Amino acid sequence: MKYIAPFLLSLMIANPVAAHPHIFIDTGLEMLFDPQGQLTHVRVTWQYDEFYSLLVTEDMGLDADFDGVLTEAENTKLTGFDMQWVQGYNGDLEIMSGTQILSLSGPTEISAEFAEGRITTTHLRSVLSPLPARETIVIKPYDPTYYTAYDVTRPLIITGSEDCRARVKMPDINAGLQALREQLNTLAADADPEDEGLPNIGAQLASDVIVTCSVS
């Protein structure tokens, strides 16, 4: 995740539960197809864990009365807090057709809410080269450094096509991956896994969303 404020980062490093990950996000996806059966957009939902949500609201001076409800002005201030992406950041989202990684737009149609102690945000990504529905699509939400863990636990929605289905493929936690997890837990809180010989560890531990469409 490439938008965390330095103040929040210092708090999380000072109070780590484990070296990696630091942020936990329940993720949902809506795949939008056009009338020609092409995947044109993906709407992403991120629901942050309670601890990170608390850090964000405190750092931003939100919910000062601690009633768990934001005013309209506070909600406006919250909206977009996680959309300040640095150049080159892919939004921790990869969409593949075969071996081809599809190009995506930056985030639009941004929303945010705070309820039951958790921040939930949504944003829309355009597929810059729309993909025909006859292709199998693999969508992988992940942070290569595994600083943020994305669990696909929220709904997977198909919009605009009755012929497509989505399912979650969990990572196969074999002995090798289990050993990697244990090695991650030995790293210092501010260590970069790639510098420690664990490149792109997030991809190995990520779930895949497999989208398949029947062809008439």
pLDDT digit string, tens, across residues 71-99: 999 999 999 999 999 988 999 999 998 88
The pLDDT-based confidence of 129 (bands split at 50, 70, 90) is: confident
Average pLDDT in the 32-59 region?
A: 94
Percent with pLDDT over 70 in the chain: 75
pTM given for the model:
0.82
Predicted pLDDT of residue 13: 40
- How far is Cα 211 from Cα 65, in angstroms, rounded to an integer? 44
- How far is Cα 113 from Cα 24, in angstroms, rounded to an integer? 17
The domain limits of the chain are 6-213
- What 8-state DSSP symbol labels residue 196? T
Torsion sign over Cα 182, 187, 190, 191 = negative
Q: What stretch of H or E contains 12?
A: helix 6-14
Predicted pLDDT of residue 141: 97
Domain 6-213 has CATH 2.70.170: yes
Q: Which residues, in sequence order, are CB contacts of 9 under 8 Å at separation 6+? A: none
Distances (CA, A) of 210 to 15, 34, 91, 99, 191: 36, 19, 19, 14, 32
* Cα–Cα nearest to 128, from 39, 44, 211: 39
* Cα–Cα nearest to 42, from 62, 28, 55: 28
φ, ψ (nearest 5 deg) of residue 121: -125, 155
Do the beta carbons of residue 145 and residue 203 sit within 8 Å? no
Q: Which residues, in sequence order, are CB contacts of 148 under 8 Å at separation 6+? A: 1, 21, 22, 23, 24, 25, 92, 202
* Cα–Cα nearest to 63, from 21, 106, 118, 103: 118
Residue 52 reports pLDDT greater than 50: yes
DSSP string of 45-78, one letter each residue: EEEE-HHHHHHHHHHTT--TT-SS---HHHHHHH
